[in-house]
Amino acid sequence: MFENFDAQILARIQFAFTISFHIIFPAFSIGLASYLAVLEGLYLWKKDKVYLELFDFWKTIFAVAFGMGVVSGIVMSYQFGTNWSVFSDKAGPVIGPLMGYEVLTAFFLEAGFLGVMLFGRQKVGPGLHFFATAMVAIGTLISATWILSVNSWMQTPDGFAINEVGQFVPVDWWKIVFNPSFPYRLTHMVIAAYLTTAFVVGAVGAWHLLRGTAPRRAGVMFSMAMWMAAIVAPIQIAAGDAHGLNTLEHQPVKVMAMEGHFDSHPGGAPLILFGIPNTEEKRIDYAIQIPKLSSLILKHDLNAPLDGLDTVPDDKEPPVAIVFWSFRVMVAIGFAMLGVGLFSLWCRWKGTLLQNHWLHRVALVMGPSGFVAVLAGWITTEVGRQPYTVYGHLLTADSISPIAAPAVAASLIAFIVVYFVVFGAGTFYILRLMARLPRDPMPDLDDGPIRSSGITPAAQPGHHGGKHAH
Amino acid sequence: MPIDLPFIWAGIIAFAVLAYVILDGFDLGIGILFPFFPEKHEKDLMMNSVAPVWDGNETWLVLGGGGLLAVFPLAYATILPAIYAPIILMLLGLIFRGVAFEYRWRTKRAEHLWNWAFTGGSVVAAFFQGVALGALVQGIPVTDRAYSGGWWDWLTPFSIATGLALLIGYGLLGATWLVMKTEGEIAERAKVFAFRLAFATVAAMGVFSLWTPWLEPAYLDRWFGYPTIVFSFIVPLMVLGCLWVIVSGLRNGRDVQPFVAALGLFVLGYAGIGISFYPYIVPTSLTIWEAAAPDSSLSFLLVGAVVLVPMILCYTAYAYWVFRGKLNPDEGYH
């Protein structure tokens, strides 16, 4: 099936496949780690057992998701070298140290305190345990900061020179780290992670509200999730708009593809709501559009001229159809999230937040929507910057390892098979954990994974003190 | 005298890789020994002995790879294509092993499947790490900043032998870890494994040491030229010393001693390899200075490493301290 594929396209498919799987887990664990820290903090502050029960419930799910994130992340850290060695050689001096800082400041922090968080409740005091949880949460945010800095630099490179062997040489680290698109991208991604987690937590709460299991715990998590949706979804739409304006400034071609502007519009551009991109004929078929609105959104002026893809050479154009569609999927989900948030506010005002089954059904259906939106957003930004790896400077075609297509094809097939088996099983276990909100604070000891969930009877004080002589 | 940044960084990367080898070595070793402890409660105990720390251990592998990309990008860009297949297989092994830590507790019906995923993943990862090491030591051709060998060059009798040797060595680390962390019947069985694997490890080191110098004239020269020949005599004596310490620790019930001495064997073996091919980072094609990133990259990351690596060692030590001592099988976990 791979006869028509060369090494470059196979390596691109492999990267897209492995990173799409990978991004799911950080998107979830960034939000969940913060949620866990909030739950444990609330428990220590209010001494209400419900927060501790929710903490233990979500901690187990976090452990599975985090494990999947770790193993899929290790793959990413070596794939730069196996499939994209020329890129590694050339861009390594700039992006390598940023990723090095990610390992030094974030990965070790998460890994070091994860063990204490998952297994150490009986071994350290409540304060230290909360500290460990907070360190894990902070670690995930630091990690996001560095990796978004790397990605942003590849999109809007700054602060470098190119040396005689073609390497990017760092000149000004401040400009590299805080490159022009970094603040927008970081904000947009972290909020996306929080929203994604809020909708998962909300869906689990809604599921248990609909079934009537553990109404108190389900109610608390549902209410927390709906506050998050109501407050953060509008912020995300504003952040997305700001990010779009930044992209127009630094990567105008990407915006042309997102908007579907094949033609230039000297007298003000329409906003194309829907349509079928026809890349052969270079137009949008069956377009439903609102005149001049695109100019108003992007330039805040109804009659501002906007360039189209006709100003760009064909070989510097990104694949328009993919970018056009993925962008619309992301935006549609964003507005749907806003709708759920407003619906929840209305129910809350009427005092029926925990009784309105229509709200619960909608929240349940919206549970996985954050993952779809995150993937669609990444596809928009990553496909939209093609044909470059380092925007404007290094072509994707010139970044690849001197590698044979069969080797990439074989490893691609291996990754596909292994990922579907391993992460499929993990998703199944997570869904099963979510469905089993325990009725009692102390779960049946024969029922599942109490060992690493840590919901175990407290150890007797001094029980094993004598064995710690060394 | 100007500061030799590539030299400092070679030392830091070498330290990160050594930390990875000895730390993930013992938890991979647990996976390798898993099938030899058939009882469920034994497997539970073995897995729990490393569950709180394996993730941190594996992070050193990310630092090794990420650090190489950051400070020796040309080495990263030429070594990884040369060992493409072993790296992919190692990663796939680590995936299965890593998820087994969580999945195993989530299912009764498929528990045995995840036991095999844990063992299989550990064996595959360990073996192909050894193969990758062997492929590196036997040399990687580089032309015009790119790997210029064939796709199967890594597969030689020597690399297969190093793969098997590492499997044995990790098994020894795992067995001595169990001696240190457990009591009763499981510890007695671990002692038998530790005893046999200690001799096997030293034998494997002997074979490796006699084989390596004949791979490259440069190695032969290094091993039998003055002053490095001094090390060629001292190191084997110290290896035998470690073996004696392991055996006497096992006989006299000093349960920490065999693990520490097994770590000693790894440090010595690692030093031996380092002595063979320094100053090459891609033997025998690129030296550390040829592969190094510009000074602006090296100094930027060095500032952080100088501050952060000691901090990492502190809180890692704390995490180990929290879970110190023998495991109590009666406790809900651990």
- The per-residue pLDDT for range B117-164, each reduced to its tens digit, is 999 999 999 999 999 998 888 888 888 888 888 888 888 898 999 999
Retrieve residue B42's tokens.
Answer: 């034994």
Query: Are A210 and A353 in a shared domain?
Result: yes
Retrieve residue B37's tokens.
Answer: 């402890």
Which residues of chain A from 420 to 439 reach within 8 Å of chain B, CB to CB? 422, 425-426, 429, 432-433
Q: Which residue has the tokens 């995936």?
A: B95
Query: Are A271 and A169 in a shared domain?
Result: no
Cβ contact B269:B201 at 8 Å: no
Integer Cα distance of A350 and A249 in angstroms? 44
SS (H, E, C) B86-104: HHHHHHHHHHHHHHHHHHH
Check whether A323 has a pLDDT greater than 80.
Answer: yes
Integer Cα distance of B313 and B59 in angstroms? 12
The H or E element spanning position A395 is strand A394-395
Check whether A467 has a pLDDT greater than 70.
Answer: no
- The per-residue pLDDT for range A269-299, each reduced to its tens digit, is 888 888 888 777 777 777 788 888 888 888 8
Q: A441 and chain B: CB distance < 8 Å anywhere?
A: no
Query: Are A168 and A315 in a shared domain?
Result: yes
Compute the CA torsion angle B237, B238, B243, B247 (nearest 10 deg).
Answer: 110
A464 confidence band (pLDDT: 50, 70, 90): very low
Query: Are A177 and A225 in a shared domain?
Result: yes
pLDDT at site A309: 81
Residues contacting residue A442 through CB under 8 Å, at least 6 positions apart: A455, A457
pLDDT at site A139: 94
Retrieve residue A423's tokens.
Answer: 């992460």
Residue type, B117: A
CA angle, A80 as apex, B16 and A196 as ends, to 5°? 95
Retrieve residue A157's tokens.
Answer: 């490179």
Query: Once rounded to an integer, what is the mean pLDDT over residues A460-470?
Result: 36
B3 confidence band (pLDDT: 50, 70, 90): confident
Classify residue A465: in a domain, yes or no: no
Give the 3-state secondary structure of residue B286. strand
Q: Check whether the bond before A170 is cis (ω within 30° of 0).
A: no
| Among candidates B88, B293, B324 on the partner chain, residue whose Cβ is nearest the Cβ of A93 | B293
Q: Which residue has the higher pLDDT, B79 or B218?
A: B79
CA dist list (Å): A240 to A186, A307, A377, B224: 11, 21, 10, 65
Percent of chain A with pLDDT over 90: 35
Contact across the interface for A100 and B63, Cβ inside 8 Å: yes
Contact across the interface for B322 and A108, Cβ inside 8 Å: no
Cβ contact A27:A377 at 8 Å: no
Cβ contact A146:A102 at 8 Å: yes
The residues that bridge with A265 in the sheet, in sequence order, are: A306
From the number of C-beta atoms within 10 Å of its C-beta (0-12, 13-18, 19+), residue B181 rates as buried
Which chain B residues contact residue A63 at CB under 8 A?
102
Residue B264 CB: number of other CB atoms within 10 A? 18
Q: B254 and chain A: CB distance < 8 Å anywhere?
A: no
CA dist list (Å): A33 to A63, A124, A209, A272, B48: 10, 19, 24, 39, 23
Query: Once rounded to an integer, what is the mean pLDDT over residues A310-315?
Result: 82
pLDDT at site B330: 59
Integer Cα distance of A70 and A103 in angstroms? 12
Query: Are A132 and A117 in a shared domain?
Result: yes
| Among candidates B80, B88, B294 on the partner chain, residue whose Cβ is nearest the Cβ of A93 | B294
Query: Are A274 and A354 in a shared domain?
Result: no
Query: Once rounded to an integer, what is the mean pLDDT over residues A374-393?
Result: 89
Which has the closest alpha carbon to B176: B104, B266, B102? B266
pLDDT at site A409: 86
pTM for the full model?
Answer: 0.86
Cβ contact B291:B205 at 8 Å: no
Q: What is the mean pLDDT of chain B?
A: 87
Classify residue A359: in a domain, yes or no: yes
Residue type, A102: E
Domain closes at, from A256, A285, A306: A306
- The per-residue pLDDT for range B240-261, each reduced to its tens digit, is 999 899 989 888 888 889 999 9
Query: Are A280 and A388 in a shared domain?
Result: no
Q: How many domains does chain A have?
A: 2
Domain closes at, from A250, A274, A306: A306
Q: A277 and chain B: CB distance < 8 Å anywhere?
A: no
Q: Which residue has the higher pLDDT, B210 or A147?
A: A147
Residue type, A75: V
Chains A and B: how many Cβ contacts under 8 Å? 270
Which has the closest alpha carbon to B24: B58, B47, B49? B58
For residue B299, give how far its alpha carbon lies from the nearest alpha carbon of chain A (Å). 10
Domain around A271: 265-306
Q: Which residue has the higher pLDDT, B32 or A283?
A: B32
Contact across the interface for B147 and A85, Cβ inside 8 Å: yes
| Among candidates B73, B91, B107 on the partner chain, residue whose Cβ is nearest the Cβ of A75 | B91
- The per-residue pLDDT for range A188-247, each reduced to its tens digit, is 999 999 999 999 999 999 999 888 888 888 889 999 999 999 999 999 999 998 888 888
Which residues of chain B from 123 to 142 reach within 8 Å of chain A, CB to CB? none
Check whether A8 has a pLDDT greater than 50.
Answer: yes
Query: Are A192 and A257 in a shared domain?
Result: yes
For residue A446, give how far its alpha carbon lies from the nearest alpha carbon of chain B (Å). 10
Query: Are A276 and A413 in a shared domain?
Result: no
pLDDT at site A443: 42
Q: B146 and chain A: CB distance < 8 Å anywhere?
A: yes
Integer Cα distance of B231 and B272 in angstroms? 8
Query: Are A225 and A258 in a shared domain?
Result: yes
Check whether B89 has a pLDDT greater than 90.
Answer: yes
Domain closes at, from A274, A306, A338: A306
Residue B156 CB: number of other CB atoms within 10 A? 15
Query: Are A199 and A115 in a shared domain?
Result: yes
Cβ contact A95:A160 at 8 Å: no
Region of residue A400 (left: phi > 0; alpha: psi -120 to 50; beta: else): beta
Q: What is the mean pLDDT of chain A?
A: 85
From the number of C-beta atoms within 10 Å of its C-beta (0-12, 13-18, 19+), residue B328 rates as middle
Give the 3-state secondary structure of residue A161. strand
Query: Once rounded to an integer, what is the mean pLDDT over residues B16-29?
Result: 91
Integer Cα distance of A200 and A232 in angstroms? 15
Classify residue A16: in a domain, yes or no: no
Complex ipTM more than 0.90, yes or no: no
Integer Cα distance of A344 and A360 in angstroms? 9
Measured in residues, chain A has a length of: 470
Contact across the interface for A120 and B101, Cβ inside 8 Å: no
Integer Cα distance of A236 and A226 in angstroms? 15
Retrieve residue A300's tokens.
Answer: 């805040």
Least confident stretch, A374-378, A408-412, B304-308: A408-412
Query: Once rounded to an integer, what is the mean pLDDT over residues B278-282?
Result: 84
pLDDT at site A198: 94
B329 confidence band (pLDDT: 50, 70, 90): low
Query: Are A363 and A284 in a shared domain?
Result: no
Contact across the interface for A119 and B333, Cβ inside 8 Å: yes
